[in-house]
Structure 1
Amino acid sequence: MPAVDPLSLADAERGLSDLIERLEAVVVGQRTLLERLVISLLIGGHVLIEGVPGLAKTRAVRALARALDLPFRRIQFTPDLLPADLTGTQIYRPATGTFDVRPGPIVTSVLLADEINRAPAKVQSALLEAMQEGQVTVGDETVVLPETFWVLATQNPIEHEGTYPLPEAQLDRFLMKLTVGYPDRAAELAMLDLPSVTERPRPESGTDDPLPLFGPRDVLRFRALATSVRVAPAIKEYVVDLVRATREPARYGLDLEPLLELGASPRATIALVRASKGHALLSGRDYVTPHDVKSLTRDVLRHRIIASYEADAEGLSPDDLLGRILDHLPVP
């Protein structure tokens, strides 16, 4: 990360508060989703969002990109999508006898991959390279993605026909998996008073869009400050124990071995610490508390563990298993 102007904790707290307020004016009743998206952006972690259609997932991501003045692209993933539709292609120039690279829509800052599990494995692999390496390969050339490159992928939990479930290796690349539910009655009623609910303005007008709160450089400043958030040794040990308890529950006095088929990898340990730093910064602190860790454990780990058939038979989800671990392990 290049050197950027330092950002004070007080300025960050005010700026993030304004950002959340801006987002809540656009997306009603999804405060937790908005906070998790901001936390992920603060530390540069990709997000998988699971929820039925119509819960304002796209609206939230678009509003966040506009508030930060970041280029935004949305790609509707379909079974006939090709890797070149995502990464780009090479165009032959007869006059010079050479190939020019035409970058695809993935070369942006904020990429919304809608219904990612509808794309075949080759397309998912191309996205995986971008998420992991910050670059894509077009022909024999490498295209470096912007430093602010950030993937938010969505999937529908109730449709399985014609889908390609994400393999564990790719799921592990997402910092968080967020589950979005229906808003309460008051929030749903308040949605009817939002602009453009019944009459959508033409895309080319853009007159109603408020000015951005920040710019791409400010995102890097936030990230630099997030990396400086302190984590006490006791907190680090707590995080390690939480993750290892998903792999060796009996060692921690938990009777979960028949219910867990696969535990979280060491990458989960790193992800949980990073996410906790972002949560602390969003809360106006430069140090991590156990509350930060516990608040994000399910979001960071639910897609990194696999419940056994026995757990499914008992109606236990990964969130339920993680809840038992959180309740059992002592808090520092």
Structure 2
Amino acid sequence: MHGPEAAVSAATRLAELEASLNAVIRGKADVIRMSVVCLLSRGHLLIEDVPGVGKTTLAQALARTVSCGFQRLQCTADMLPGDILGVTIYNARTGEFEFKPGPIFTSFLLADEINRATPKTQSALLEAMNERQISIDGHTYPMAEPFLVIATQNPVEHHGTYPLPESQLDRFLMRLRIGYPDRASEREILRQSPGVNGPAPQAILTPEELLSAQLAAERVSVDESLVSYMLSIVEATRSHESLLLGVSPRGAQALYRAVQALALLEGRDYVLPDDIKRLAVPVFAHRVVLNQRVSLSNRSTETAERLLAEILNRVEVPL
């Protein structure tokens, strides 16, 4: 089944997935929608916010709504690349070297507090995130399908952390902030029994259904005028006087895939200009680098988002 009927059918199943997530993370429907967009786009998700707002809960819930393998890594400064990828050991009984796979060999990998791992350990994720394979001791091992890395980090506390370099940030399709809940949602959280995190998310999709939905997203139509619109936004980031580094071609590809996924979530088999305007900031804000004069501000994340919003207001929207 293709076309509008396929889009509506996929959107119905995905609405069930969103409903399951909304039962776990209260009052954050837009954040949940962006997370599902990332999942459909075959991308990786970076959740950046202060402690206690549900970063890890959202990551775990997203993974458990699909009946796939799930592994959680609590990143620390003494973690080694082998703790993620696995190691090759000598088997004295067989007289041969054997590879013992690490936790990265799963469909959903949660890297909690990723900026507490050293740069060497952080880089162990690069090949897997981009190439969907890893190379160890001359052998190449493919990743599972589907495969998604969800990383969390606290942007406020910098003691004992290693900021992610631009090359690592560029591997994440999207960066999200959850923010504090509204008063009504926080009241529900307070009413929960002590030690209980709320209802457990239900497995809604099988791996096959998720892969089918990802393929359906790739078939969503993007008009040539909208491709030109996206490229104009990308080019504007590269020439902006306050930006040292604009959006890369990988970033442009990420936005293209993300708008297709958002259209599918909303039951359409075509992209609208509003899809691009809605996703440009969460997809691009972590990819641009502010110049030295602007980056003196302590709130560089908000500054990047504000500059991108200004660019969106300036670039002409196709009719």
TM-score normalised by length of structure 1: 0.89
What is the rounded CA distance, in whole Å, between the counterparts of 1:58 and 1:158 in structure 2? 17
Which residue of the partner structure matches residue 286 of structure 1?
A: 269
Number of residue pairs aligned between Structure 1 and Structure 2: 310
What is the rounded CA distance, in whole Å, between the counterparts of 1:211 and 1:162 in structure 2? 36
What is the rounded CA distance, in whole Å, between the counterparts of 1:48 and 1:306 in structure 2? 17
Shift of 1:20: 0.8
Q: Counterpart amino acid of 2:135? A: T
Q: 1:89, 1:139 within 8 Å by CA — same for their partners in 2?
A: no
Mean Cα deviation higher: 27-36 or 296-305: 27-36
Cα deviation per residue 1:283-308 (whole Å; 9 max; x = unaligned)?
A: 11110101100001110100111112
What is the rounded CA distance, in whole Å, between the counterparts of 1:245 and 1:146 in structure 2? 37
Which residue of the partner structure matches residue 214 of structure 1?
A: 205
Mean Cα deviation higher: 101-110 or 264-273: 264-273
Which residue of the partner structure matches residue 204 of structure 1?
A: none
1:317 to 292, 299, 303: 303
Shift of 1:68: 1.1
Q: 1:74, 1:114 within 8 Å by CA — same for their partners in 2?
A: yes
What is the rounded CA distance, in whole Å, between the counterparts of 1:144 and 1:304 in structure 2? 27
Which residue of the partner structure matches residue 317 of structure 2?
A: 331
Shift of 1:91: 2.3
What is the rounded CA distance, in whole Å, between the counterparts of 1:168 and 1:150 in structure 2? 19
Which residue of the partner structure matches residue 121 of structure 1?
A: 119
Residues 50 and 210 from structure 1, CA distance in 2 versus in 1: closer, same or farther, beyond 3 angstroms?
Answer: closer
Shift of 1:75: 0.3
What is the rounded CA distance, in whole Å, between the counterparts of 2:247 and 2:184 in structure 1? 38
Is 1:225 matched up with 2:220?
no
Residues 136 and 313 from structure 1, CA distance in 2 versus in 1: closer, same or farther, beyond 3 angstroms?
Answer: closer
Which residue of the partner structure matches residue 164 of structure 1?
A: 162
Cα deviation per residue 1:213-238 (whole Å; 9 max; x = unaligned)?
A: 21000110001100000000110000
Cα deviation per residue 1:69-126 (whole Å; 9 max; x = unaligned)?
A: 1111110111110000000111211122101111111111001111111111211111
Give 3-state SS (helix, strand or coil) of 1:49's partner: strand
Give 3-state SS (helix, strand or coil) of 2:150's partner: strand
Q: 2:24, 2:201 within 8 Å by CA — same for their partners in 1?
A: no
Which residue of the partner structure matches residue 173 of structure 1?
A: 171
What is the rounded CA distance, in whole Å, between the counterparts of 1:125 and 1:55 in structure 2? 27
What is the rounded CA distance, in whole Å, between the counterparts of 1:128 and 1:328 in structure 2? 34
Q: 2:61, 2:201 within 8 Å by CA — same for their partners in 1?
A: no
What is the rounded CA distance, in whole Å, between the counterparts of 1:141 and 1:69 in structure 2? 29
Mean Cα deviation higher: 211-220 or 139-148: 139-148
Which residue of the partner structure matches residue 205 of structure 1?
A: none
Q: 1:12, 1:222 within 8 Å by CA — same for their partners in 2?
A: yes
Is 1:185 matched up with 2:168?
no
Which residue of the partner structure matches residue 99 of structure 1?
A: 97
1:137 to 115, 135, 138: 135
Which residue of the partner structure matches residue 11 of structure 1?
A: 9
Which residue of the partner structure matches residue 51 of structure 1?
A: 49
Mean Cα deviation higher: 289-298 or 172-181: 172-181
Indicate the percent of aligned positions where both proteins have the same amino acid.
45
Q: Counterpart amino acid of 1:225? A: A
Q: Counterpart amino acid of 1:86? A: I
Give 3-state SS (helix, strand or coil) of 2:163's partner: coil
Which residue of the partner structure matches residue 110 of structure 2?
A: 112
What is the rounded CA distance, in whole Å, between the counterparts of 2:46 and 2:99 in structure 1? 29
Q: 1:229, 1:288 within 8 Å by CA — same for their partners in 2?
A: yes
What is the rounded CA distance, in whole Å, between the counterparts of 1:64 and 1:125 in structure 2? 24
Is 1:241 matched up with 2:232?
yes
Give 3-state SS (helix, strand or coil) of 1:84's partner: helix
What is the rounded CA distance, in whole Å, between the counterparts of 1:112 and 1:54 in structure 2? 17
Q: 2:45, 2:174 within 8 Å by CA — same for their partners in 1?
A: yes
Cα deviation per residue 1:148-175 (whole Å; 9 max; x = unaligned)?
A: 1100111101011221111111111111
When the two chains are superposed, the root-mean-square deviation of aligned CA atoms in Å is 1.8
- Structure 2 unaligned regions, length at least 5: none
Q: 2:63, 2:108 within 8 Å by CA — same for their partners in 1?
A: yes
Is 1:30 matched up with 2:28?
yes
Q: 2:65, 2:204 within 8 Å by CA — same for their partners in 1?
A: yes
Is 1:85 matched up with 2:68?
no
Shift of 1:140: 3.3
